[in-house]
Structure 1
Amino acid sequence: MEAKDVCVEIENDAFYSKFLEDNVKTLISENLTVTDQVNKLALGIEKLGKSLEKQVLAKHNDLLTQASHISDLETTLESVQSQVQSLLRGAQKLKDRVVTPYQVLENQTLMLERVQTTCNLLRHTSKIIMLWNKLISVKENPAKEAIILFELNELINDYNFEGIVLLDEILKEVDHKRKALLSNATASLQASLLNGDKTKLLQCFKVFHNLQCTEEQIRNTVENILNDLKKEIGNALQVKMEGSHFELKKSGSAKTTPGKANMMSSLDFKIILWDNIEKLFKEEICNSCSKVIMLQNVINELHAIGNFRNIAKNFWSNLSQIFSTELEKSPLAVNQSIEIDYPKLLKCFNDLHSRLKCKDLEMNRSCLSKWENSFLSKSLGKLLEPVRSMWHLNQVPTMDQIDNAIRVITEALSISLGDKQLSISLANSVAKSIKQMNMEAEQRLSMDSDVAQIIESPTSSQQKNAELCNAMYYFSSLIKRVLINMNAMLPPESIQIVQNSLKDISSLPVLQLYAESIKNSLYIILMTMHDEPDLTRADDPTGRSLSCSPYMKELQQFVSRCKDIYLSMFREKSALTECCNNIAVVCIERFIQHVCNVRPLSKFGRVKLQMDCKHLETALSPLVSDFTELADYYRQLKALYLILEKSPQDIAKSQSEGACLPYSLVMMYLFSHAGPQLMAPHTCAGWNIQKLMQWLETHKNERERIEFVAGALQRYQNHVRDNQITTYDEVYPVLLQLLEDGRKTLKK
């Protein structure tokens, strides 16, 4: 059997395989007796022995070769071992040559270090004794003492001088003198701050700087001031509503009930609280701030001691935080009083700032935001209350109710004087109340179909609208008067906020409804101009005394009636003036358009229209007190008056010299001087006069109007050419020239 097969057989056999495992297990099989196991084990050993013999016989040459190699290896190993031993002996010798000098050098270095330490101790001792002697000689100069003591302290801290008898007393005295000097300087600092002695304060900080403890002293000084103020603030705010130590003055000889605490009235409580706060700011806080300001100024002068530029600023910020914290801890009644009279607290801060005149003392308003927001919330409620109540009770507020609202607004603006931020915040609250007032009025304005009728007497809706507008005008005018009176005291931002809120209050929207109705009626009246027979009369008007046309008389009566009955109900002069001027402008514009398009028009008719131009001013006088305010429209009316008496050639000449009327209207007018074949532009288009007015209303661009007239001229030119007419109408060349001039003007 091959050796491989023997190994496989042993590995696969359940009995033999147990002897191949590494872990310790029971090798005795439970299925075989001990004798059988021993026999089987002997058989296996025998098989292995035979297998080994076969392998030895098969590879005996290789085994012999390996055996000879082992002998050579042993010889080589013996040689290596002898070399290793020789190397170890050499290393030992080298070690002896290195270690011995190193130990010698180490001992010498240690000795040198001790010598150097001894020298330094002797040198420091000598210097300490020298500085000590110098210290004794400068007893009257604390600043120099501080320099010497600082140097001594640095020298003493460098080494341990324990055991040097010569320095024992000196070291104790140095420590004692340093503490004494620091203590004296600290006491002098407090006294200097209290007395305001800037010279001594400078000397103190020179001492602190020389002792290298400036920052610590500044911090301790400011902390002490803040701690003292914290106690004072707490005491000032701890006012209770009851206490046996208050005796309230009452009418008669009223006696308090024995065994019960006297109850303090709300008024007495507020008086005591605000007396405490005002006294706190005028005395304790003011004195403390003055100390810190002086401290800051002195340190700023001593540039050499370091950068401590924010002492006052940080102090003020911490003070604001402390005040806020103490206020938080104060009784509820105190907090409520602060919320109600918050401007008084701000005034205390601002007065203090004005008194101290230090730019670094800027109040940290965020610390007081709780009370400021509560005050603003209550102020807004107070401002809105009269507005809501006046509209709740009546459809139109009375003057007394408006006066009450104005009084509240004035009070709100006045209590913020002296503090810009609070003033702006209250101005925003005032603006909200004004907007609320305007919104309430707008909701009650009637927009029914009859609010703009101008035929019958004013309806109840019209009267109510006018009353609402007048009430709002009265309201806004009073506020504007308040702003004028307080202009020098209120910040510009606050005034601007309130003024912006007043922009939406105007009678103009309601007046515009009347204006539209009046303008529509005026359009109808002016349309009847073309039905006047006098405009086509062939009579000679020379020497005659002519009156205005019937339509002009009707227009005059209508305008006067509208002003007296409807527009006079409104009291807001600026809105009424704007509305009336707008009506007058539209009336003049439409009158000029009609006059320039009357067909046919005789010489008598032109004189009649001249009279109408004069009377138009009279008709519009109830609306317009100063016609110069109408600017170009009034000048155009005057220009129309002059054109009515000129020939076409003169009109063209004056137009080239810079007349006021637009080229398009002048050309439309000149068609009235032409014969029937040169038809007016609207006649060429097949329009009636009403259609022409509508077109002019929607086409205000001068270029479009000139081209509209140019179309009529082109049509006339085609008519002359088609009918082989030998001569043009005498007005035609004038119109062509004006057309060319008008186009050139538009190109400029």
Structure 2
Amino acid sequence: MDAKDVCIEIENDEFFSKFLEETVKPLVNENLSVTDQVTKLAQGIEKLGKSLEKQVLAKHNDLLTQASHITDLEVSLESVQTQVQTLLRGAEKLKDRVHTPYFALQNQTLMLERVQSTCNLLRHTAKILNLWNKLNSVKDNPSKEAMLLFELNELISDYDFEGIELLDDVLIEVDTRRKLLLKNSTELLQSSLLSKDKDKLLQCFKVFHNLQCTDDQIKNSVNTILNDLRAEITVALDVQIVSIEIKKSSSGRVAPGKANIMNSQDFKVKLWDNIEKLFKVELYNSCAKAIMLQNVVNELHAIGNFKNIAKNFWCDLSVIFSSELEKSPTMVNQSIEIDYPKLLKCFNDLLSRLKCKDLEMNRSCLTKWENSFLSKSLGKLLEPVRSMWHLSQVPTMDQVDNAVRVIAEALSISLGDKQLSISLANSVAKSIKQMNVEAEQRLSLDSDVAQIIEPPNSTQQKNAELCNSLYYFTSQIKRVLVNMNSMLPSESIQIVQNSLKDISSMPVLQMFAESIKNSLYIILMTMHDEPDLIRADGPAGKSLSCSPYMKELQQFVSRCKDIYLSMFSEKPALNECCSNIARACIERFIQHICNVQPLSTFGRVKLQIDCKHLEIALSPLVSDITELGDHYRQLKALHLLLEKSPQEIARSQSEGACLPYSLVMMFLFAFGGQHLLAPHTCAGWNNQKLMQWLDSHRNEKERLEFVAGALQRYQNHVRLNQITSYDEVYPVLIQLLEDGRKALRK
């Protein structure tokens, strides 16, 4: 059996496999007797033995070769062992040669180090003793004493001088004198701040600088001042203390047997007395100390960079005041919210007294109270505005005066603080906007609000009253702004003025203006029905008056001004409205006269008289008609135009007349024959259609082309009918057309 097979058989046998396991359990098989087990075990050993014999016989040559190699290996190992022992002996000798000088050098280095330490100690001791002797000679000079003490302290801290009896007393005395000098300088600093003795402060800081403790001393001084201020602020805002002070001050006024109950007004007065005193005395003195520290340190450039002492102190002070105010009782906070401008005034007055450019108002710490104050102020501003618009009634002058008074008070309490003034101006603008919104909601814009036939109805009267109330409101506010102009910031004034721009009577007046203009247009349209305009006889020797339509126009304008427009009090808007009506009337009057056909010599004289009477007719609207500018100049030019021949008219146009070329050309068609038809006649329009076209086509180029179309039609008519000559007006019209086009190209 092969050796491999023997191994496999033993591994697979239940009995033999137990001997292959690494276990501490007994290998006795409970199913076999001990004799059987021994027998089987002997058989297995015998099998293994035979298997080993077979393997030895099969590989005896290889075994013999390996045995001989083992002998050679043992010889080589003995040789290597001999060489290793020789090497070890050489290493021991080398070790002895290296260690001996190393230990000697180490001992010498240690000795040198100790010598150097001793020398340094002796040198430092000599310096300490030398400085100590100097120190004893400068007792009356704190600055030099501080410098020497600092040097001594630096030398002492470099080494441990324990055990050197020569320095024991010196070290103790140096420490004592340093503490004593620091204590005395600190006390001198506090007393100098109180007495505002700048020279002593300079002396203190020289000592602190030489002791290298300036930063700590500044921090300690500032913290001491701030802690004292915190206590003062707490006392000033303490309700119980305020109550006690009120009782003491009123003890002489209380009737016997009656309880002394604190009045809220007395509390507010006493509280603000305490706060104002706090700012005028404690806060001012404390800030003055910080500024004095800053100034003294700035003079001593050599002691370091401490440029923000006053600024940081002010920031810390603002935070402390805010936190103490936050912790104060509700009564105190309510008083601050109501009279917040007083608190701002206290801060601003304090800053103005201190006159330090590094200090500025820290509003972020007061945001809570400022927002609350602005919220309540807005409520106060809106309340009279909302209350005056009860149901649908028009507010009375007293109600408007009350609202204006509240606005004036709001603007006046912010004097002295620009940011608060701007914030309150925005609140005032909201109040004004609310006033305008309330009025607009009650204005009626129905169709009957612009009727000018019957007497003013209730809706028209109410609209006028609303407009007049708004105008009175705005005029009173403008008067307030004028009175406060020198005190209020320009930004605040601008905010309020901008809010007033949207308030005007013009929307309602504009509706009346449109109705009046439409009626005027209808009256002017009757001009074409006047028989005098086509009378053939001459006007010489006759007493002429204005046309009937002009008389009607005069009566109508006067009636509208007296009955309808006079209801409104806002003169600027009323003047603008009247000027607008007057301009429209003159413009339409000129357009009609330039298109009257036929028109006789008598008619032109009649129209000249109408031109003069139009100025009279418009006088109720415009006291000085010359203020109408170009419209007035065109009316005067029309008056002159009516008495000129076509050639004279063309000449005056070339010399720079005021009337547009298109209207002058339309006027000249009245001088032509029956074949030279006016532009609107060519188009088949009546006068009303022509006026509508002129209103919608105000561009001079379009109007010239409209006239050019009539001239082209006439030219075609002459050519088709082989008429030998043109109408005598035609060349004048052609020349004016060319001149008009040239004028447009310039």
Is TM more than 0.5 here?
Answer: yes
Q: CA 1:6–1:562 in 2, change beyond 3 Å: closer, same or farther?
A: farther
Q: Distance in 2 between matches of 1:702 and 1:138?
A: 104
Matched, 1:294 2:292: yes
Say if 2:253 is the partner of 1:255. Answer: no
Contact 1:607 1:645 in 2 (8 A): yes
Match for residue 539 of structure 1? 537
Per-residue Cα deviation, 1:355-374 (whole angstroms, up to 9, x for no partner): 11112222321111111111
Shift, 1:159, TM fit: 1.1
Alpha-carbon distance change, 601 to 155 in structure 1, aligned in 2, over 3 angstroms: same
Q: Return closer, same or farther for 1:82/1:389 CA change in 2, 3 Å cut-off.
A: same
Moved more, 288-297 or 634-643: 634-643
Match in the other structure for 2:357: 359
Query: Aligned runs of 1:555-704 on 2, under 5 Å?
Result: 555-704=553-702
CA distance in 2, matches of 1:671, 1:105: 136
| Residues 243 and 262, structure 1, Cα contact 8 Å, conserved in 2 | no
> Greater CA deviation, 45-54 or 421-430?
45-54
1:373-400 superposed Cα distances (whole Å, 9 cap, x missing partner): 1111111111111111111266111111
| Residues 246 and 270 in structure 2, CA contact (< 8 A), matched pair in contact too | no
Quickly say closer, same or farther: Cα 1:723–1:9, change in 2 above 3 A.
Answer: farther
Separation in structure 1 between the aligned mates of residue 249 and residue 437 of structure 2, nearest angstrom: 49
Shift of 1:566: 0.7
CA distance in structure 2 between the partners assigned to 1:162 and 1:42 by the alignment: 88
Q: For the residues of structure 2 that align with 1:154 and 1:610, how far apart are their CA atoms?
A: 114
Structure 1 segments unaligned to the other structure (5+ residues): none
SS at match of 1:135: helix
Check 1:20–1:640 CA distance in 2 against 1; reply closer, same or farther (3 A cut).
farther
Instruction: Find the counterpart in structure 2 of residue 211 from structure 1.
Output: 211
- Cα shift at 1:733: 2.2
Give 2:491's aligned residue.
493
Which residue number corresponds to residue 715 of structure 1?
713
- CA 1:27/1:501 → structure 2, altered by over 3 Å: closer, same or farther? farther
Q: Between 408-417 and 725-734, report the one with greater CA deviation.
A: 725-734
Q: CA deviation at 1:464?
A: 0.5
Alignment partner of 1:576: what SS?
Answer: helix
Q: Distance in 2 between matches of 1:676 and 1:66?
A: 155
C-alpha displacement of 1:660: 1.7
Moved more, 167-176 or 18-27: 18-27
Question: Counterparts in 2 of 1:256-271, with a 5 A limit?
Answer: 256-257=257-258, 262-271=260-269
The change in CA–CA distance for 1:118 and 1:655 in structure 2 (over 3 A counts) is same
CA distances 1:36-91 after superposition (whole Å, capped 9, x unpaired): 54444444444444444333333333333333443444343333333333333333
Amino acid at match of 1:215: D
CA drift at 1:33: 4.9
Gaps of 5+ in 2: none
- Identify if the C-alpha distance between structure 1 residues 94 and 520 changes in structure 2 by more than 3 Å, giving closer, same or farther: farther
Q: How does 1:133-152 map to 2 (within 5 A)?
A: 133-152=133-152
State the Cα deviation string for residues 512-555 of structure 1 (Å, max 9, x = none). Answer: 11111111111211222222222222222234332222222111
- Structure-1 separation of matches of 2:726 and 2:26: 147
Q: Cα deviations across residues 493-524 of structure 1 (Å, max 9, x unaligned)?
A: 11111111111111111111111111111121
- 1:377 is matched with 375
Contact conserved, 1:390 with 1:397, CA < 8 A, in 2?
yes
Q: Which moved more, 1:319-328 or 1:468-477?
A: 319-328
Check the 8 A contact 1:248/1:264 in 2, yes or no.
Answer: no
Q: Point out the more displaced range, 672-681 or 489-498.
A: 672-681
The one-letter amino acid of 2:271's match is L
Residue deviations 1:190-216 (CA, integer Å, cap 9, x gap): 121111111211111111111111111
Query: How far off is 1:478 after superposition?
Result: 0.5
Task: Give the C-alpha shift of residue 35 in structure 1.
Answer: 4.6
The one-letter code sitting in structure 1 at the alignment partner of 2:525 is M
* SS class of match (1:392): coil
Give the drift of 1:488: 0.7
The residue that corresponds to 1:121 in the other structure is 121
Using the TM superposition, give the Cα deviation of residue 168 of structure 1 relative to its aligned residue in structure 2, in angstroms.
2.0
Mapped partners of 1:544, 1:248: distance in 2: 99
Deviation track 1:544-578 (CA, whole Å, cap 9, x = no partner) reads 33222222211111111111111100000111111
Aligned to 2:744: 746
Cα 1:245–1:409, aligned 2, differ >3 Å: closer, same or farther?
closer
Instruction: Check conservation: 1:548, 1:612, Cα contact below 8 A.
Output: yes
Q: Is the aligned partner of 1:400 residue 2:401? A: no
Q: Distance in 2 between matches of 1:35 and 1:712?
A: 154
Distance in 2 (alpha carbons) for counterparts of 1:33 and 1:683: 153
Letter in 1 for 2:448: D
CA distance in 2, matches of 1:75, 1:54: 32
Distance change (3 Å), C-alpha of 1:89 and 1:737: farther
The answer to whether the 8 Å contact 2:392/2:442 transfers is no
In 2, are the aligned partners of 1:242 and 1:262 still within 8 Å (CA)? no
Instruction: Give yes or no for contact 1:668–1:681 (8 Å, CA) kept in 2.
Output: yes
Partner residue in 2 for 1:473: 471
CA distance in 2, matches of 1:100, 1:75: 39
Distance 1:70 1:360 in 2: 101
1:14, distance to aligned residue in structure 2 (A): 4.5
| Residue type at the aligned position of 1:256 | G
Aligned length: 745
State whether residues 582 and 618 of structure 2, in contact with CA within 8 Å, keep that contact through their aligned partners in structure 1: yes
Q: Give the aligned residue type for 1:441.
A: A
Map of 1:436 onto structure 2: 434
The answer on whether the counterparts of 1:236 and 1:276 sit within 8 Å (CA) in structure 2 is: yes
What is the aligned partner in structure 1 of residue 459 from structure 2?
Answer: 461
Q: Distance in 2 between matches of 1:577 and 1:366?
A: 50
Q: Which residue, 417, 420, 423 being the options, matches 1:419?
A: 417
The 1:670/1:167 distance shift into structure 2, 3 A limit, reads same
* Counterpart selection for 2:725 from 724, 727, 731: 727
| Partner-residue secondary structure (3-state), 2:603 | helix
Q: Distance in 2 between matches of 1:73 and 1:600?
A: 155
8 A Cα contact 1:124 1:155, kept in partner: yes
Amino acid at match of 1:516: E
Structure 2: distance between partners of 1:15 and 1:688: 141
For residue 196 of structure 2, what is the aligned residue in structure 1?
A: 196
Distance 1:746 1:96 in 2: 123
The 8 Å contact of residues 230 and 326 in structure 1, kept in 2 or not, is answered as: yes
Q: Is the 8 A contact 2:578 2:621 kept in 1?
A: yes
| 1:60 partnered with 2:60 | yes
Residue identity matched to 2:573: A
TM-score normalised over the length of structure 2? 0.95
- Aligned equivalents of 2:11, 2:723: Cα separation in 1: 142
Note the C-alpha offset of 1:687. 2.0
Runs of 4+ in 1 over 6 A off after TM superposition: 250-253
Structure 2 CA distance for partners of 1:726 and 1:12, relative to 1, 3 Å: farther
Cα offset for 1:20?
4.2
Q: Which one-letter code corresponds to 1:565 in the other structure?
A: I
Q: Structure 1 residues 34, 245: CA separation in 2 closer, same or farther (over 3 Å shift)?
A: farther
Instruction: Give 2:317's aligned amino acid.
Output: L
Query: What corresponds to 1:526 in structure 2?
Result: 524
What CA RMSD, in Å, does the superposition of the two structures yield over aligned residues?
A: 2.2
- Does the 8 Å contact 1:627/1:634 carry over to 2? yes
Kept in 2, the 8 Å contact 1:142–1:181? The answer is yes
SS of 2:239's equivalent in the other structure is coil
Comparing 332-341 with 22-31, greater Cα deviation is found at 22-31
Distance 1:104 1:310 in 2: 62
The separation in 1 between residues aligned to 2:138 and 2:565, in whole angstroms, is 98
